[in-house]
Structure 1
């Protein structure tokens, strides 16, 4: 079992990493602005719970096996990239009128949750992160390495959900303000869509060191 000092240190590092700009937090913020706080929380829950699988795979050593296979890594990477580009395009082409309470179709919390957890699990960078990051905090004197990694994984999941939820709720309040400006929603969707598609292309071109 990790000691208290390690737990606090890991939690602080996890919070900093969670708030670092990336496709996950960008998606949460976008949903918060366009569809409100409930949508943002659904996205935050999806991305956070997706890390349960990554934690489990890291503990069992499966992530290392998968990442060592060029073919499997490439397939997962391209699937994740394609999914990010798809979400980005859907966001880019979405009409900002959704901000103004029109009948424009919006995603249900369930759909947002599924999109989020899928995007998280298809991102090989997350698996690589768990392989590289969690073991750095494991100490031989603290017992089972697998148990320690499981604890750290749980802490990371909780920190991610807390940070994403805070950012999503804040974005929801900003979205309430944007509802008064008809063109703001469309512009925001265009910007978010371009960023998501760019991140998707970046993932497609990503190569392991």
Structure 2
């Protein structure tokens, strides 16, 4: 935690809240596309909502976002350590992140035929639904990799502390993710059977998501706003 204190020592609230607003629209678009793309978290939320109802689906969604907050903190500590070592390492990390977006796009398109939603029959408490959502996200190494590669592309070390920008963007991503998950809960509870059986809708959803991720990854890799 001392790393964070070193970054924020003598920093005003205005500087703390400063981010690169020119990249914010692209960040919000990318975050939204990633959140709505079918994946383990969405499948878990849909499954819980269909089998047990809205209350349990919402608890699972909040649990998942609690896991996101844990990953934000861990990623901030790791990224801060990298920046204290080398600015070149940060630049490399940004390009790796752009490549990772392209990879996610390709994987999303490749996995279209395998999309399915499983409904679980077991009953659990609201508290357990929350904890399962949190633990599922916390112990997923792919989530940690995502945070360390995705968010740095939208950070400008020359504006304010990298740690504060990471936290702000991470919280924005969390709000988007929670909004998508809760919307998914309500839609799932209303159209559960359709979502569980209709793969055509999910196929098109992944197609649009995959193409968008490919485009964003290519744009971020080629755009001149990727600064060292």
Contact 1:29 1:167 in 2 (8 A): yes
Q: Whole-Å Cα distance in 2 between the matches of residues 142 and 63 of structure 1?
A: 15
Whether the 8 Å CA contact 1:54–1:63 is kept in 2: the answer is: no
Q: Which of 67, 70, 73 is residue 56 of structure 1 equivalent to?
A: 73
> Are 2:147 and 1:130 aligned?
yes
Residue 36 (structure 2) pairs with residue 19 (structure 1): yes
TM-score of the superposition, structure 2-length normalised? 0.58
Give, in whole Å, the separation in 2 of the partners of 1:64 and 1:23.
30
In structure 2, what is the Cα distance between the partners aligned to 1:48 and 1:173? Answer: 23
Q: CA deviation at 1:108?
A: 1.5
Counterpart selection for 1:154 from 171, 179, 189: 171
Q: Give unmatched runs, 5+ long, in structure 1.
A: 66-90, 96-104, 179-183, 189-209
5 Å matches for 1:114-129?
Answer: 114-129=131-146
User: 1:13, CA displacement in angstroms?
Assistant: 1.1
Structure 2 distance, partners of 1:159, 1:141, is 26
The one-character-per-residue Cα deviations of 1:43-72 (angstroms, maximum 9, x if unpaired) are 11111111111000111117989xxxxxxx
Aligned runs of 1:97-108 on 2, under 5 Å? 106-108=123-125
- Provide the rounded CA distance (Å) in 2 between the counterparts of 1:52 and 1:154: 8
Structure 2 CA distance for partners of 1:112 and 1:39, relative to 1, 3 Å: same
Question: What per-residue deviation string (whole Å, max 9, x for no partner) do you get for residues 139-194 of structure 1?
Answer: 1232111111111110111111001111111001124xx5xxxxx9xxx6xxxxxx
C-alpha RMSD of the superposition: 2.6
Q: SS state of the match for residue 5, structure 1?
A: coil
Structure with greater helix percent: 1
Question: Which ranges of structure 2 fall in alignment gaps of 5 or more residues?
Answer: 1-17, 83-117, 197-228
Runs of 4+ in 1 over 2 A off after TM superposition: 3-9, 62-65
User: In 2, Cα distance between the equivalents of 1:142 and 1:35?
Assistant: 46
- Number of residue pairs matched by the alignment: 145
For 1:41, which of 58, 61, 66 is the aligned residue? 58
